[in-house]
Amino acid sequence: MIDTAAPLASPSEYADAVATAVQAAAAYYADGATPLGDDEYDALLKAVAAYEDAHPDQVLPDSPTGKVAGGAALGDVPHSVPMLSLDNVFSAEELETWAAGLERRLGRPVTAWCVEPKLDGLAVAARYRAGRLHQLITRGDGLAGEDITHTADAVLGLPAELAEPLDLELRGEVLLTQDQFDHANRIRADHGATPFANPRNGAAGTLRAKDRPYRIELTFFAYDAVGPDDLAHSALLDRLAALGANTAATTAARPRPCEGVQEVQQRIDEIAALRAELPFGIDGVVVKADLAADRAEAGSGSRAPRWAVARKLAAQHKVTRLLGVEWNVGRTGIIAPRAVLEPVVIDGVTVTFATLHNPADIERRGLMIGDQVFVYRAGDVIPRVEAPVLDARTGAEQPIAFPEACPRCGDAVDSSEQRWRCVRGRNCQAVASVLYAAGRDQLDIEGLGGTRAVQLVEAGLVADLADLFTLTRDQLLTLERMGETSADNLIAALATARTQPLNRVFCALGIRGTGRTMSRRIVAHFGSMAAIRAADAETLAGVDGIGTEKARVVAAELADLAPLLDRLADLGVGTAVTVPTAPAAVAGESGTEGGTEGGEGEGAESDGGPLAGEAVVVTGSMTGALADLSRNQMNELIEQAGGKASSSVSKRTTLLVAGEKAGSKRAKAEELGIRILTPEEFAALVAAHLPA
């Protein structure tokens, strides 16, 4: 494979690079199945261009430089006006140089700029006659494209009829959102088809597909039009939205007019920070001269307009080799596969491992050891393997071996569900279960760390959560390096853990499908452990956000945990009762199993409070009275004060608590007009509910 980062030192290397780039472009613009990631392709083009600058007499006629879509000739429907590509810049310095060059060409400063996300999909032209969609065409080589009108009815955001009876040509990007991509791969799996490697690959293949026995929805975003020539670009986007076309104005990364390059750079940084939260992929940010007069005066070259440029962002998709698969056992006995990868840098991070979800997912994707695979990473999300590059297979690839026994204890494997599990369940990973239960956001048992948990399990003193509350001082003193002070401190910490709110006890159980947030919701909904245990799957599904599938898992887990829950109840752990937020006509709900939680129970939101009806998001570092609270404690505080805690800003959010270095969530809240409080202002609002 060509080293895309190395300079080209000879005519033969240059010829190989041109051939590789042409092949990659043809695949990329045909079905998205290119063997190169975005970064590698960009680096290869830069190397080709650099060689051609130094050796102009050796330029090959099929070189991709200076050509729209890298010279990939696709389709035979002529465009009314050429659909050009964009030149790229890769740093703030390169952007400043480009902007300065444009202003020199104009002989004056650019009046205004418009900054918008560069969507990672396929460019199309949609022709309307008298307001009705007449034809949908791919960009192709910029001069002619392919007629894909047969797919138009599956493209959301592309109106079949405009709000006015105009002759107009919309230009925009068709893509798969992440939800559409996941849904598309489920549909393909149901029909025995190979999963799409990534959303762009899926969009390209779907737009060109004919006679499929299933339908896959895509999304259209308009970014230009042929017809209205005298509008500022920002005004044109507003006009297109008024006509019924979907635009990026509906997203957090919406286009925004800017004055001066400094403000442009700031908006680029804001959009880049939003990247991981967007429901679709972007591979850069587009900067355009906003006013029509500036654009007309700047003009266009044969490949790209002179008044617009793409500020490329680091790729989140890369191609690397799958070297192996490790099978790890989690605290609940789940046997999870993990991909071992040839190290690859994605978005500035070296990735050597990635998630593979479960055995069924491996089979659905058709992965083999030795495959070249697409790897995806967005922001802080764990990298995942998406699909193999089938055209890169050599025949030397080997099937992935699935475990026939539990990799940890050697017992049998329950493979009846998609996620395989050791038949011993939590007993297979007692240390992990104990450590999870003792964690700060669960029972917060100070002094119970990894070494101590291993000692307790290996000594036979602890096999599950309930055993922790039967420990005696004399038992602890038998452990190596356990002095009297340490033993007393641990006994005291365990006594404190007995009084933790019910949501923390429930979370400490480590039930599949639940975590800190869902545990709070379940406890708030039912009010007591007895009511939770008495609920069937249908009743559990009534909890906000749990859903029928997760409810079924939780109900089954609660049944499996019945002996443990009985022992905890006998020990007085998790027996507190609060007023539920929803009626739960089940036995034990109104019992007196240990009284209330002194006004700090999870059911407090039913009694109103300063945050009643509020949907609250916390971001940044807290200060003042909130400085020592973990994010989980902040969420508990919100719900005790009557609000609902959330991790992401959306139109449903009503309040953002923004600490130091708040970042993209604050920017999104400002765009949506959401009320924003400092930590000090929020602390004053919920003062009555602050921990002592």
- DSSP secondary structure string for all residues of 499-510: TS-HHHHHHHT-
| pLDDT score recorded for residue 148 | 93
**Residue 6 included in any domain:** no
**Residue pLDDT, tens place only, 534-547:** 999 999 988 887 88
pLDDT band at 411 (very low <50, low <70, confident <90, very high): confident
Residue 608: is its pLDDT beyond 80?
no
Residue 4: is its pLDDT beyond 60?
no
**Residue 639 included in any domain:** yes
pLDDT band at 529 (very low <50, low <70, confident <90, very high): very high
CB atoms within 10 A of CB 391: 11
Residue 223: is its pLDDT beyond 60?
yes
pLDDT band at 676 (very low <50, low <70, confident <90, very high): very high
**Residue 170 included in any domain:** yes
| pLDDT score recorded for residue 288 | 97
**Residue 420 included in any domain:** no
**Residue 419 included in any domain:** no
**Residue pLDDT, tens place only, 29-81:** 555 555 566 666 777 778 888 888 888 888 887 787 766 555 555 567 899 89
- Tokens 């923004």 belong to 658
**CATH code for the domain of 466:** 1.10.150.20
> Is 41 in the same domain as 190?
no
| pLDDT score recorded for residue 420 | 92
> Is 613 in the same domain as 594?
no
**Residue 72 included in any domain:** no
Residue 587: is its pLDDT beyond 60?
no
> Is 367 in the same domain as 407?
yes
Domains: count for the chain: 6
Of the ranges 129-133, 428-432, 667-671, the best mean pLDDT one: 129-133
Residue scoring higher pLDDT (309 or 351): 309
| pLDDT score recorded for residue 530 | 92
> Is 520 in the same domain as 654?
no
Work out the burial of residue 686: count CB atoms within 10 Å of its CB; fewer than 13 is exposed, 13-18 middle, 19 or more buried: buried
> Of 498, 527, 544, which one is at a domain's C-terminal end?
498
The Cα–Cα gap between 196 and 205 comes to 8
Residue 89: is its pLDDT beyond 80?
yes
| pLDDT score recorded for residue 311 | 95
> Worst-scoring range by mean pLDDT, 67-71, 218-222, 587-591?
587-591
**CATH code for the domain of 28:** 1.10.287
> Of 579, 606, 633, which one is at a domain's C-terminal end?
606
| pLDDT score recorded for residue 56 | 84
**Which residues span the domain enclosing 61?**
11-65
| pLDDT score recorded for residue 29 | 56
Burial 213-237 (b: 16+ CB within 10 A, else e): eeebbbbbbbbbbbeeeebbbbbbb
> Is 620 in the same domain as 485?
no
Q: How much of the chain, in percent, has pLDDT values that exceed 70?
A: 90
Instruction: Pick the closest to residue 117 from 49, 172, 198 (CA basis).
Output: 172
Element (H, E) at 225: strand 218-226
> Worst-scoring range by mean pLDDT, 4-8, 397-401, 436-440, 446-450?
4-8
> Is 239 in the same domain as 387?
no
**CATH code for the domain of 643:** 3.40.50.10190
Mean pLDDT of the chain: 85
**Residue 105 included in any domain:** yes
Mean pLDDT over 320-329 rounds to 93
The Cα–Cα gap between 604 and 83 comes to 59
Tell me whether residue 118 is one of the annotated catalytic residues: yes
**Residue 226 included in any domain:** yes
Residue 598: is its pLDDT beyond 70?
no
| pLDDT score recorded for residue 485 | 93
Mean pLDDT over 248-267 rounds to 93
pTM value is: 0.57
| pLDDT score recorded for residue 42 | 72
Instruction: Pick the closest to residue 390 from 205, 211, 212, 209 (CA basis).
Output: 205
| pLDDT score recorded for residue 540 | 92
Residue 180: is its pLDDT beyond 90?
yes
**Residue pLDDT, tens place only, 184-211:** 988 988 888 888 878 888 898 899 888 8
> Is 569 in the same domain as 655?
no
**Residue pLDDT, tens place only, 642-675:** 888 887 888 889 999 999 888 778 888 888 889 9
pLDDT band at 590 (very low <50, low <70, confident <90, very high): very low
Instruction: Pick the closest to residue 386 from 114, 659, 185, 85 (CA basis).
Output: 185
> What are the phi and psi torsion angles at 171 (to 5°)?
-125, 140
| pLDDT score recorded for residue 5 | 54
> Is 137 in the same domain as 30?
no
> Is 145 in the same domain as 55?
no
The Cα–Cα gap between 405 and 208 comes to 44
- Helix (H), strand (E), coil (C) string for 451-513: HHHHHHHHCCCCCCHHHHCCCCHHHHHCCCCCCHHHHHHHHHHHHHHHCCCHHHHHHHCCCCC
**CATH code for the domain of 358:** 2.40.50.140
**Residue pLDDT, tens place only, 141-164:** 888 889 999 999 999 999 999 999
| pLDDT score recorded for residue 468 | 94
| pLDDT score recorded for residue 6 | 64
| pLDDT score recorded for residue 424 | 81
> Is 333 in the same domain as 408?
yes
| pLDDT score recorded for residue 382 | 75
> Of 606, 632, 662, which one is at a domain's C-terminal end?
606
Catalytic residue among 118, 288, 318, 665: 118
> Is 83 in the same domain as 199?
yes
> Worst-scoring range by mean pLDDT, 408-422, 470-484, 594-608?
594-608
**CATH code for the domain of 231:** 3.30.470.30
Classify 620 in phi/psi space as left (phi over 0), alpha (psi -120 to 50) or beta: left
Two tokens, residue 386: 């998406």
| pLDDT score recorded for residue 298 | 95
> Is 589 in the same domain as 549?
yes
- Helix (H), strand (E), coil (C) string for 371-394: CEEEEECCCCCCCEEEEECHHHCC
N-term to C-term CA, the chain: 63
**Residue pLDDT, tens place only, 510-525:** 888 788 888 888 988 8
11-30 vs 38-54: helix axis angle to the nearest 10? 140
